[in-house]
Amino acid sequence: MDTKTLSFTIVLVGSALALLSIILAVYRKERGLTIYSIGFISAVGGFLLLMTQPEFSFRAGVILANVLLMFFHLNLAWGLRTCFRIRPYWPVRFWFYSAAWGATFLAAIWILDSYTFRAVLASSFIILFSFEFLLALRQGARELPAVLRRAGYAVALSFIGFHTVRIGLILAGARTGSNLMDDNFLNAFTFSFSVFFSVLWGGLILILDAANILSKLERKNRALSDLATSDELTGLFNRHMLETGIPSEMERAVRYRTPLSLILFDLDHFKRVNDDLGHEAGDAVLKRAAAIARNLIREPDSLYRWGGEEFLLMAPHTALAGGVALAEKLRQAIASDSFIGGRPVTASFGVAEWRLQDSREEWFKQADQALYRAKNSGRDRVVSFGNEDAMPMATVKLEWRREWESGNRLVDDGHRRLWELSNELLDLSLSKGTAEEIKPHLDALLAHVVQHFKEEENILAEVDYPELKAHARLHEDLAREAQEMKSEVERGEINPMAFFDFLVSRVVFGHILHADLLFFPCLRRR
């Protein structure tokens, strides 16, 4: 086949590929496809100029034709970098390549005026531009299937091989003629393979673009899946994922007769972190706590963000004792971490083992009750829900004993009044009073606690109790903690009965029997 027919074939094939790339670029509004379409148009224009050399100034036609053809080959790497978002899309070295090509080619036209030198020069630069395409493919196509990456490497390397052979043929003395349109073996070889590689380049670009679309779609689907199943801040599973995971874990526990434990844990005084350091610091604390827990859990365990500063750990093949041990391990790891600026952060844990007779809701309530007990009994501890906890938390009245009398009428009357208010609340809780019925009694008990603390401190000051300052600090801490819990009750964040448990266990019963008994001898001597 003569050279002009082959060149005309290249123009037809290039025009078809240019038209396809233009249609895709307009439809997709993809910048990389726009660059490819411009490149194919440039290649077609270059070959048209070579075909019509006799009609124009020879040198002007050759220079412009080669500029357009070189732009097409450099355009392959530029378009691929743009499609795969490899910055910079047009590196500085591309300008250097263009300048070097222009200077050497002009020298080959105006100084040497050698077709052989121009042909070797053109193939050499095309090989260089093809290596740039390989580099872009290696950097940007990591997420593409391996078969497509290998196909891209194969096309580029074959193209490099073709031009290497062409250079060898030229240097070996193959008959070349005076220009690219002469009928000879070298030009026929060049045009035949140009037709072949035009189709290969066009097909490869379209395939890589389609694969890039599928890759982006897959990434978006993964992101949507992560949003649906993961907590955005901590990266842990979210509550939606928990709802799908619980039934399968319970079913597996029944089928294989293995224990299953639930661990709820909550960061202590987390509101203070947000108030003192800001919400960004609070988010950092949550992420750090999640990372600590994630690094300590075992392979079958699953960790969830339950909400706010509360987390949930599902522990398959784990009985209650094992769940307590795992929770204690987590508690120690969190308490020993420096967190933000060395500020200590602690967590309270509630552990419950699932029993066949319990529903999912009952199981969660058991872990929740254990967590509240952990927080109300001093925080930074692990509390489990055992069989003995199935009954109400308190089933008898609080009886006053004479050995709890200090000898000071005002102090003893205040303590007895606290006992009476506590028993009223106890009766109301055992009769299953509503939250609205319990709340006024809690307010009355808290108000009396604050009043009693002040009266007690005045009396201790009159008798010069040596540990008055330390005792007053205990009052201050208890009162502040009680006010915080009251606010949490009002916001609906905790159950009123958890507040009742705190007031009775820590403030009334615990404080009197542990802290107040210490100053009784001082009052009795007076």
Kind of pairing between the strands at 260-267 and 347-353: antiparallel
Lowest mean pLDDT among 68-82, 131-145, 182-196, 304-318: 182-196
Question: Per-residue pLDDT averaged across 175-180, rounded?
Answer: 55
Residues 427-464: pLDDT tens digits?
666 555 566 777 787 788 888 888 888 988 898 888 88
DSSP class of residue 397 equals: P
Q: Which two tokens stand for residue 438?
A: 């319990």
Strands (E), 241-358: 260-267, 302-307, 310-316, 347-353
User: Is residue 492 within 8 Å of 525, Cβ to Cβ?
Assistant: no
Residues 6 or more apart in contact with residue 519 via CB below 8 angstroms: 406, 460, 465, 467, 471
Do 249 and 355 fall within a single domain?
Answer: yes
- Residue 232 is assigned to a structural domain of this protein: no
Do 27 and 132 fall within a single domain?
Answer: yes
Q: What are the angstrom distances between the C-alpha of 479 and each of 208, 412, 459, 516? A: 68, 20, 18, 15
- Residue 397 is assigned to a structural domain of this protein: no
pLDDT of residue 225: 61
In terms of average pLDDT, the best of 82-91, 379-388, 509-518 is 82-91
Do 376 and 478 fall within a single domain?
Answer: no
Do 58 and 207 fall within a single domain?
Answer: yes
Whether 192 has a pLDDT exceeding 90, the answer reads: no
Whether 290 has a pLDDT exceeding 60, the answer reads: yes
Do 67 and 130 fall within a single domain?
Answer: yes
Do 437 and 469 fall within a single domain?
Answer: yes
How far is CA 412 from its chain centroid? 58
* CATH classification of the domain holding 177: 1.20.1070
Whether 391 has a pLDDT exceeding 50, the answer reads: no
Residues 6 or more apart in contact with residue 61 via CB below 8 angstroms: 49, 50, 52, 53
Do 214 and 126 fall within a single domain?
Answer: yes
Strands of the sheet with 382-385, listed across from one edge: 302-307, 310-316, 260-267, 347-353, 382-385
Q: How many CB atoms lie within 10 A of CB 146?
A: 8
Q: Tokens 């050499």 sit at which residue?
A: 124
Q: Which two tokens stand for residue 215?
A: 């890759």
Do 315 and 272 fall within a single domain?
Answer: yes
Kind of pairing between the strands at 260-267 and 302-307: unpaired
Q: Which of 487, 409, 405, 386 is nearest to 446 (CA)?
A: 487
Domain's final residue, options 182, 203, 227 = 227
Domain's final residue, options 227, 248, 278 = 227
Do 305 and 353 fall within a single domain?
Answer: yes
* CATH classification of the domain holding 374: 3.30.70.270
Which DSSP string do the residues of 79-100 spell out, in sequence order? HHHHHTT-SSSS-HHHHHHHHH
- Residue 395 is assigned to a structural domain of this protein: no
The span from the CA of 419 to the CA of 431, in Å, is 18
Phi-psi map region of 343: left, alpha, beta (phi>0 left; psi -120 to 50 alpha): beta
Query: At 401, is the secondary structure helix, strand, or coil?
Result: coil
Do 445 and 307 fall within a single domain?
Answer: no
Whether 113 has a pLDDT exceeding 60, the answer reads: yes
The span from the CA of 454 to the CA of 469, in Å, is 13
- Domain range for residue 291? 239-390
- Residue 56 is assigned to a structural domain of this protein: yes
- Residue 233 is assigned to a structural domain of this protein: no
Q: Which two tokens stand for residue 486?
A: 């009251």
pLDDT band at 15 (very low <50, low <70, confident <90, very high): confident
pLDDT of residue 503: 72
Q: Which of 379, 383, 384, 389 is nearest to 485 (CA)?
A: 379
Number of independent structural domains in the chain: 3
Domain's final residue, options 390, 416, 433 = 390
Do 369 and 254 fall within a single domain?
Answer: yes
**How close are the terminal C-alpha atoms of the chain, in Å?**
126
Q: Which of 270, 509, 242 is nearest to 400 (CA)?
A: 509
Give the active site residues.
309
- Residue 396 is assigned to a structural domain of this protein: no
- Residue 234 is assigned to a structural domain of this protein: no
Q: Tokens 């827990």 sit at which residue?
A: 293
pLDDT of residue 393: 39
Lowest mean pLDDT among 52-66, 87-101, 108-122, 198-212: 52-66
Do 439 and 358 fall within a single domain?
Answer: no
- Residue 521 is assigned to a structural domain of this protein: yes
Q: What are the angstrom distances between the C-alpha of 201 and each of 98, 122, 130, 158, 245? A: 21, 18, 11, 11, 49
Q: Model-level pTM?
A: 0.47
Q: Which two tokens stand for residue 234?
A: 């901590």
User: Is residue 105 within 8 Å of 118, Cβ to Cβ?
Assistant: yes
